[in-house]
Amino acid sequence: MSSPRIALCPGTYDPITLGHLDVIERAAGIFDQLVVGVVIGSTKKQHMFDAERRIALATEATAHLENVAIQGFNMLVIDFARAFGACALVKGLRAISDFDYEFQMAQINKRLAPEIETVYFPASAEYSFISSSGVKEIAVWGSQVDEWVPPNVANAFRERETAAEKE
């Protein structure tokens, strides 16, 4: 019996969008197990939702996928992938600019962990323009984001807005 093919789909998921969910669903159909790794700390940016909330939102959004697990992590991606025997990193690509960055990261990761492959999923056309940062920008200015995020995430934005109005 062969070992299960496990992949890691890492990201900040701040918040998880329908574009993320599309890639996660497609990868879950190919790999035996998919771990969605939610970055807990980041040297790059401030998060709108804390790690606990991002993990909870991603868990709820992927609850329909039996072979998907959500886990937070705060280490090098390849170290996290090795910790549970992942054979691949799954990355979504929306545009050439995404490819440029992700290709550089794949080369670094391959040097650090030659046994782990990087697999790219091109964005589906209807999600190719969606980014977490764009969604956050729209939501911060009070516009609805329901068509770009899972329902639980849209509700989380509404809860934030209501809480902010009460302050």
Catalytic residues: 20, 44, 94, 132
Q: What is the largest CA-CA distance in the chain?
A: 58
CA 109, 115, 120, 121 torsion: positive or negative?
Answer: negative
Whole-angstrom distance between the N-terminal and C-terminal Cα of the chain?
Answer: 58
Which phi and psi (to 5°) does residue 3 adopt? -75, 150
User: CA-CA distance, 147 to 17, in Å (whole number)?
Assistant: 9
